[in-house]
Amino acid sequence: MAFSLQLQQMFLSPSRFCSQSKSTNPQIIPNLTRKPSIHPLAYAQNNATSNIEAAKSSINSSAEEVSLPPELRRELMPKHIAVILDGNRRWAKKRGLPVALGYVAGIRALRNFVKLSYNWGIRALTLFAFSSENWFRPEAEVDLLMGLFDKVLKDEVENLARAGIRLSIIGDSSKLPKSLQDLIDKAVMTTKANSRLHILVAINYSGQYDVVQACQTIAQKVKDGTIEPEDINSFLVEQELLTKCTEFPSPDLLIRTSGELRLSNFLLWQLAYTELFFSHSQWPDFGEAEFLEALSSFQQRQRRYGGQSS
């Protein structure tokens, strides 16, 4: 893979997927606001070890609940949160850095986000990691992203399994590199019995295609005579969507970072009654304070599902 050397230099030691970052500090990777005077790959190599060490903090894998921040109420916590991880490239370009370092910083933010979700009792996360439209990005960037997925899966599957975290991949994985498909199969099988937190990663995913493939499956059942056309309803469609693998297929809260105010073809059916939160922070800067803001906003809303207020 074109970026294999670059990835090795950015990840010098095994990472911890559920490690802690200094969320109160908007500068995710130390000293990255200065434009490097050395080659970007060497710069990444010099910073990678300190980045990972600064993020290390094992997730609490016991069944005991961690105390919530005082501004949150446990009975009002969302069970399923969907996240559009937006702004990694802009974060890097704003600092005069290679795009690759924006994604590295984004992975660090993701580790902290998963740790907080795990400790605060979130039951499911769906992460929009790579859309079907992302194939139209420059080939070098696509190779980089495929390499990052490969690296994270290799390093983290055992950590996820020990922490009781289940991993699922939604989307058309048949178009991914064969080596990545094999890693995905292994990660899914290794963690399938876990139930503390379910992470769904949307790779090569399209919300429109998700609905289309559900309709195709239902149409085939009608053709085979196993159901009648009048049997088709919203519940049947939901059972054929890619999120059927989780106990909570419809997210309670959607978070999108980087100030964009659109869904970008993500979980179009599932988000019908989801509460939306748009953050101006770019994803690498989305830490504990920003997550608390999103959760506090969610808990202050009255969810009506199209009905009248009480």
Higher pLDDT, 60 or 252: 252
295 assigned to some structural domain: yes
**Distance between CA atoms of 130 and 50, rounded to whole angstroms?**
27
Task: Pick the catalytic residue from 86, 150, 252, 285.
Answer: 86
Q: Check if 86 is active-site.
A: yes
Mean pLDDT of the chain: 84
What is the band of 282 on the pLDDT scale with cuts at 50, 70, 90?
very high
**Distance between CA atoms of 133 and 223, rounded to whole angstroms?**
32
Q: Is the pLDDT of residue 51 over 90?
A: no
Q: Give pLDDT tens digits for 178-212.
A: 999 999 999 999 999 999 999 999 999 999 999 99
267 assigned to some structural domain: yes
Q: Is the pLDDT of residue 29 over 90?
A: no
34 assigned to some structural domain: no
Cα dihedral 128, 131, 136, 140 sign: positive
DSSP E strand boundaries for 59-104:
80-84
Higher pLDDT, 31 or 60: 60
**Distance between CA atoms of 120 and 143, rounded to whole angstroms?**
34
Lateral strand order in the sheet of 275-278: 165-170, 197-205, 124-131, 80-84, 253-256, 275-278
Which residues form the domain of 274?
A: 79-299
Residues paired with 84 in a beta bridge: 128, 256
Mean pLDDT of 216-235: 97
- The distance between the two most distant Cα atoms of the chain, rounded to a whole number of Å, is 68
**Distance between CA atoms of 261 and 84, rounded to whole angstroms?**
11
Q: Percentages helix, strand, coil for the chain, rounded to the nearest 5?
A: 50, 10, 40
Give, as one character, the DSSP assignment of residue 80: E
45 assigned to some structural domain: no
Q: Residue 68: name the closest of 119, 19, 109 by CA.
A: 119
> How many other C-beta atoms lie within 10 A of the C-beta of residue 93?
12
50 assigned to some structural domain: no
Considering the entire predicted model, what is its pTM? 0.80
148 assigned to some structural domain: yes
**Distance between CA atoms of 52 and 92, rounded to whole angstroms?**
18
> How many other C-beta atoms lie within 10 A of the C-beta of residue 27?
13
- pLDDT score of 21: 36
Residue 148, domain CATH = 3.40.1180.10
136 assigned to some structural domain: yes
Q: How many domains does the chain have?
A: 1
Q: Give pLDDT tens digits for 116-169.
A: 999 999 999 999 999 999 999 999 999 999 999 999 999 999 999 999 999 999
- pLDDT score of 129: 97
Distance of CA 145 to the CA centre of its chain: 14
Distance (Å) of CA 309 to CA 65, 86, 276, 301, 304: 32, 33, 18, 11, 6
2 assigned to some structural domain: no
Which helix (H) or strand (E) element contains residue 100?
Answer: helix 99-119
